[in-house]
Structure 1
């Protein structure tokens, strides 16, 4: 473990320093003494200096908040305002390269390899049997080199904890591939083959966010180089490419993805456990869309989680985008840095950094709406409430019939007439109140809508409202046809007047 004093120039007193431990991808740790207003960029630069890493834009520093949510620190954020003591951070891949072959340096590929090794072990990178065996064999080849019958006993794969569920059948297939298909490959080539095969899987780069869909079923959301993905169980049920995502927003614990699919508007709604988790999910989506979609960082805009009338939270991704990173990588010219130290072979099993059962994400059962309804009506509390409501209905019906049978004569008629008058008066009063409320709302809403729809005033607030998908849909699908109809009627009326 290395100890380093790392100071930002704005600090005046050593009393403001705190100790921070950063866990690296191979589970080794480095520590540094930082200040309370140190930004995330300082921590990332510190680790990259430790590695001598230039292609740093793919990586980030994250921590686990008190609600067990894994949070990546924005580069411009003051770290000690977001994390809790003791300050333990993790250096991890933040943006997974879409094309590993375009990574310039072996060091960067090696760090990505370590991250994917963790993803496989923790169940975040799902693999069919054949793919799992090939990936496992690549890891063994990179760590041990060629198979040697004198050095490797029949059960040598058991020393590697590669998968959360590692069967004997899988181990035998890994040995077969290691013996026959990968012989002669150096560590760097075996790791590159592993990256190439892993990046074609559906869950490559998915950092799963657990939530509930509109039926109440568990779903896991993720962001990849391709776009926004949704998984239920181990099945991907949605893939919305970044070019088709028009807006990401959240309100409280509800997260919305608005886009276009098959030339139709699509709105996906999900519910998170807390407002903080929902806001974090939204920020992750904004960052990933900016990184993978934009051609230049100058195109990145500040986005808002607003609905029509409220600005909500505002956030802007700070950093280079994928295309700029690849372009900068192509210009690197230096002697390659040392990638592996002697202790890097036979890497230990990764530490469980999933926090809160995320490893089990892709094994959650998919519940149908019908099953949810059956479970709801089987609930004893629900059954008791329904029975109580039925009993109240029966009592009311018996009382009404008994009262009707006792009514008669003139007195009965008078009472009915009086009751009827009271009901009429109450009904008239309710209608009057309703009309007053409607008129008040219209007096405020109609001028505002006309200002938005018909004026050329282009202030920022009105511009943001006009850009929302909900407002555009209202404008084109409802307002424009209504306006054409009114103008047509007015024109016909004017023609009749002039003809008379």
Structure 2
């Protein structure tokens, strides 16, 4: 079955290709990468939005048709794995695509920041697009032509601050300005965090964030818990439940199993897959080997199938002069729609370190960000100190083949009844399947930049 696949790129242009939908996902992704002249493909992916506006990544080793499940072949290209150190990317064109993605995150409200940070990032955006401040051409409020913040945030006061900063950063090339843009963006609390709505064991609505460093739990706009990857021993889901098993704390003797409830088995499995892939990409030296087919093996055979960040950074397979490319103008446009529903208002993250001026009303948010930065540093140190820990056991609940799994997912989607009482979590025992654990050496120096 052939169809015209439409892929919206990060500069909002559209790429079309005629493709057999029975082809595997890597065929589509390779066509998009070739169109963009992108060699460092490991950080990116192609996804589609389902009827509920949830992001579904296209996996490379599974047919496109099977993944679409009746949805139209309309796709988006974007960053899948946010590097914690964009300066280590090999090519300027790769950093440019990161910049476009982070701009989208800023404009959509997915990546909130303070007034000063919006202004500083806006100044780098203007510098990359028009160069140094020139009083002969930069007349009046020239920044008003650019989208430097979400529509409900951008104001004349903010634009004036952008102009002040723009005058201070003269001499930077577009590539230099974009590098500084990313260096400041990566310090934001929600940089690279993908959130998923869930409920805790008391039926309180929360969000689970997945990032390069681990998992975070948010409630009422604030982060209430964090689990660095080295803490997590097991990741699994059972029907609508998503579980993690964590190592005992310093003064504890027993491992803890923490459960969350999602809206459907489909969303639980989506979160599970995202966790498996993020851990494998950022923490392992090499991905786990594919699971061989066996009549005696139950459960999902899903594993991350690409290169890890360690492999991508140390690869010597880019043998070409720096490619030339055209940068897209940051025009004043309406903010793009949020993916996965409207997230709650986020806390104010830390102000970039290279700006000392702080508004008085940001003092409380700044103190909270300082605490978060210290916690992140401890997580990074833990990552460096445990290079040979085991990969978390990846387990799912489905003991049948994929056909039965899809039938169950459809039944879950059609079921509109309310969830049982929160104490049901306590009554339900652990999954009755054996855990498959692969001991994979992890990189001991990869998170020094976190």
TM-score normalised by the chain length of structure 1: 0.64
What is residue 282 of structure 2 aligned with on the other side? 292
SS at 2:194 equivalent: coil
What is residue 3 of structure 2 aligned with on the other side? 18
Query: 2:346 matched to 1:362?
Result: yes
Aligned-partner Cα distance in 2 for 1:337–1:300: 34
What is residue 24 of structure 2 aligned with on the other side? 39
Note the C-alpha offset of 1:225.
1.5
Note the C-alpha offset of 1:94.
0.4
Query: 2:158 matched to 1:170?
Result: yes
Looking at secondary structure, tell me which structure has more helix per residue: 1
Aligned-partner Cα distance in 2 for 1:245–1:159: 47
Aligned-partner Cα distance in 2 for 1:254–1:67: 19
SS at 2:93 equivalent: helix
Of 121-130 and 150-159, the range deviating more from structure 2 = 150-159
SS at 2:346 equivalent: helix
SS at 1:82 equivalent: helix
In structure 2, do the counterparts of structure 1 residues 325 and 31 end up closer, same or farther at CA, with 3 Å as the change threshold?
same
Query: 2:102 matched to 1:112?
Result: no
Deviations 1:397-444 (A, max 9, x none): xxxxxxxxxxxxxxxxxxxxxxxxxxxxxxxxxxxxxxxxxxxxxxxx
Query: 2:20 matched to 1:30?
Result: no
What is residue 383 of structure 1 aligned with on the other side? none
Question: What is the RMSD of the two structures over their aligned residues, measured on CA atoms?
Answer: 2.6
The answer to whether the 8 Å contact 2:109/2:338 transfers is: no
Deviations 1:226-264 (A, max 9, x none): 111222344222221111111111122221122126334
What is residue 326 of structure 1 aligned with on the other side? 313
Query: 2:115 matched to 1:129?
Result: yes
Deviations 1:101-130 (A, max 9, x none): 110101100001100010111111122333
Note the C-alpha offset of 1:85.
4.3
Note the C-alpha offset of 1:204.
1.0
The answer to whether the 8 Å contact 1:210/1:361 transfers is: no
Aligned-partner Cα distance in 1 for 2:344–2:435: 41
In structure 2, do the counterparts of structure 1 residues 467 and 104 end up closer, same or farther at CA, with 3 Å as the change threshold?
closer
Aligned-partner Cα distance in 1 for 2:300–2:100: 35
Alignment of 1:460-479 (within 5 A): 464=434
| Larger RCO, structures 1/2 (Cα 8 Å, 6+ apart) | 2
SS at 1:126 equivalent: coil
How many residues in Structure 1 have an aligned counterpart in Structure 2? Answer: 344
What is residue 53 of structure 2 aligned with on the other side? 68
What is residue 262 of structure 1 aligned with on the other side? 249
Alignment of 1:29-428 (within 5 A): 29-83=14-68, 84-164=70-150, 165-180=153-168, 182-260=169-247, 262-263=249-250, 264=252, 265-297=255-287, 299=288, 311-328=298-315, 330=316, 332-340=318-326, 344-347=328-331, 349=333, 352-360=336-344, 362=346
Note the C-alpha offset of 1:466.
9.4
Note the C-alpha offset of 1:465.
5.2
Of 351-360 and 242-251, the range deviating more from structure 2 = 351-360
The answer to whether the 8 Å contact 2:119/2:148 transfers is: no
What is residue 486 of structure 1 aligned with on the other side? none
Aligned-partner Cα distance in 2 for 1:51–1:155: 34
Aligned-partner Cα distance in 1 for 2:66–2:13: 25
Aligned-partner Cα distance in 1 for 2:177–2:230: 34
Any stretches of 5+ residues in structure 1 without a counterpart?
1-15, 304-309, 364-460, 469-500
Note the C-alpha offset of 1:157.
2.4
What is residue 397 of structure 1 aligned with on the other side? none
Any stretches of 5+ residues in structure 2 without a counterpart?
348-431, 439-450
